[in-house]
Amino acid sequence: MNDLISERKLLNVVIWAVLIGVASFATLPIFVMLYLEMALILIVVTWIKDFPRQLKSMMTLAYLLLVIFQISFCVVASFGNHLFVGTAIISRIFSTGLILLPFILERSMFDHNNTEAYLPTFREMATLSFAELKENGESIRQNLQGVGKLRRTLALDGIKAVIADLHRHSSVHYINDGTLTESYFERAKATLTDPYMYLVISHTGSNASDIISLFTKKQYNHTSLSFDEGLQTAISYNGGNNVYPPGLNSEMIEAFHQADDASLLVYRLSATSVQKQAILEHIRHINEVGSAYNIIGLVLKHSLRPNIMFCSQFVYQTLASTGLAYFKKADGMVKPTDFIEQDYYKKLDFCYEIKF
């Protein structure tokens, strides 16, 4: 018993020494590495333990969300510009304390579920059986790959770009109206004799797309509608490419090419001229009333106002409003790849793929 008490005291001293050292001398890459490594340890432990699979998935997502928050705060608060030395010191202390946040989450979550699932000691980690590792090997491998992707996705430049763009968004006010011109509506009207609507599923490789992929675990994370096969009338909810406010905007195909592996898939869906006209009027109404990109809805899966949506939410709602939706799902829960994966009745015809 005395040995255990001594071991615990020594461990506490080491932890405090490390935290003080980190707060005093750590650079941004060190903070990022620590956040990622702590998440990795807890994800591995979660998948090794005998918990329900749903709980494992939920905790893994929670740890990844925490990493995003930790790194974002650290970049903006601790390593941003400070007018006063005191604020810089306080922010570094807070960033250091955030290292412990995943462990607090782990303890409170499993306490709440009356489950004895505390972080194992190094001695317990060393005695994990080969059978346990083998049994959970595939899940561990997948989550290790996810953490590896997270490390690449949350590079400093990418995080700064995403954060710098946040001020352009609003999840409560319409900030985009009238960006679609009469020229757009004339082009769309000219396609009414084409008996199809076209769905575009794309992987742009943008910083925002890569971060969204952490939650969807899909490669393709953007979807658009087009009245014509050549995509001259492609439209969706997007960030506006720093030209227009985030919300309902026409798509510029060249803007899809933001990475070497960017690509898009084009499918067609049978639609009557009456249905296409109804879609056009629906788009005109949103353009006149106003819109905004539902950035909070990516996590909360809910819109605070009718015309505040994200891309797949808009596409599904538009199709549903004209009787063209071919699967049932709450619009806030729809992912871009659902339009392909949920096509059980083969309503879509593949047209072509573009690889940039």
pLDDT of residue 256: 82
Residues near 345 by beta carbon (within 8 Å), at least 6 away in sequence? 326
Q: Answer yes or no: are the C-beta atoms of 298 and 166 closer than 8 Å.
A: no
User: What CATH number has the domain spanning 182-355?
Assistant: 3.90.1720.10
pLDDT band at 73 (very low <50, low <70, confident <90, very high): confident
pTM of the full predicted structure? 0.61
Q: Cα–Cα distances in Å, from 341 out to 57, 132, 274, 301, 345? A: 21, 33, 27, 19, 11
Whether the per-residue pLDDT at 119 is higher than 50: the answer is no
Span 167-187, pLDDT tens digits: 788 888 999 999 999 999 999
The domain segmentation of the chain, as residue ranges, is 2-154, 182-355
Q: Cα–Cα distances in Å, from 179 out to 167, 242, 275, 299? A: 19, 13, 23, 27
Q: Which DSSP string corresponds to 56-79? A: HHHHHHHHHHHHHHHHHHIIIIIS
pLDDT band at 351 (very low <50, low <70, confident <90, very high): very high
Token output for 159? 């995080």
d(CA 48, CA 58): 15
pLDDT of residue 116: 44
